Amino acid sequence: MSDTGLQGRRIILGVSGGIAAYKSADLVRRLREVGADVRVVMTRAATEFVTPLTFQAVSGQPVHTSLLDSDAEAAMGHIELARWAEAVLIAPASADLLARLAVGRADDLLTTLVLATEAPLAVAPAMNRVMWSHPAVAANVHVLERRGVAILGPGSGDQACGEQGAGRMLEPLDLVRRLGSLFGPRPLQGKTVVITAGPTREPLDPVRFISNRSSGRMGFALAAAARDAGAAVHLVSGPVSLPTPAGVRRLDVETAGEMHETVMGTLDGCDIFIGCAAVADYRPATVAAGKLKKGDQRMQVDMERNPDILAAVAASSPRPYTVGFAAETDDLQGHAEAKRLAKRLDLIAANLVGVPGSGFEVADNRLWLRWQGGDCWLGPASKEQVASELIAFIAERFNRE
């Protein structure tokens, strides 16, 4: 594995009760492979799934399980552990553990240590898909995100219960990479970012719709980059075939009207809004109740304007730092600047479509950024690289203003 930033780092791995605890032994091994010094703290429930002896063998260090261990307190108790750690990763983090962290419980060694440390905290949730989607769990995760806790995952796929969906603990190698980002710059720590992505679909009848060629890849890359910068990310997505970035809250919509309603409902507490979706400007004035049949050589469809999401966000109060996108086929800078001024945006990112290395349905992108008093180019590069650079630029502008 390439440099992760974990060489010589002192990491506490907390293990809570869940079947995914079997992955945590491999996680210890992977952390040690990249040069981290690992100490393991287990909840009592965790010891029912994997024995402390297993973790002692792979870590080469004693395993800590009890808050009221007189021998541990004489050597490295919860205060000593808390001061020793440079980062705390809890993997797996069960629904119960997330709830106890959210309310500040300190009823075992692991939760007490979390309250006593000043080291950054990351959790890797692992639970059944229905539990992960429960409003109580979502509320607890939101509380932790607002406190700056890094939520690593969960992933999606087969679950131990035989079901499929979101709730799987991320794989050890992925967790090692994500944990390394805690030691890099996190300029959006504690901030909330709302991002729109993908196309919208405006129905003509129950079968047909009007849409565009957006794949959503740029918006999803921005969501992952904002997450890595420390933000709590809400991704409002039109219909796309992309996996949700781990640790990002995804809200699926179809029409521009649905996207407008969802975005406006997520603005409470929003610090930065990035409108990356290719939203349809118009929709059919009427939607046929049944499938439209062939008739004359021409068919006329009356269209009406959709709500302007970017303008509505920019006009909201309190107003988030508002970033818009402009996909153009000509006069890129002129059209983009006119859009920025008309919608009163803080920043606009514009790209040409229909040309190699930029726009829809391609892996790369090139953006022209324009703000009051300046402009610059990003790329050409992969959409993931451009997204990372754009989020860093937005964070710098936001924190400066």
Q: Which residues are catalytic?
A: 161
State both tokens at 208: 């047909």
CB 313 within 8 A of CB 322: yes
State both tokens at 286: 């009427």
Of 299, 312, 196, 311, the residue nearest 255 (C-alpha): 196
| C-alpha angle 333-234-321 in degrees, rounded to nearest 5 | 45
Of 368, 362, 366, the residue nearest 217 (C-alpha): 362
The backbone torsions φ and ψ at residue 333, rounded to the nearest 5 degrees and listed phi first, read -70, -40
Of 239, 7, 248, 257, the residue nearest 142 (C-alpha): 248
Question: How is 37-68 classified by DSSP, letter by letter?
Answer: EEEEEE-TTGGGTS-HHHHHHHHSS--B--TT
Burial 80-116 (b: 16+ CB within 10 A, else e): ebbeebbbbbbbbbbbbbbebbbeeeeebbbbbbbeb
CB 126 within 8 A of CB 18: yes
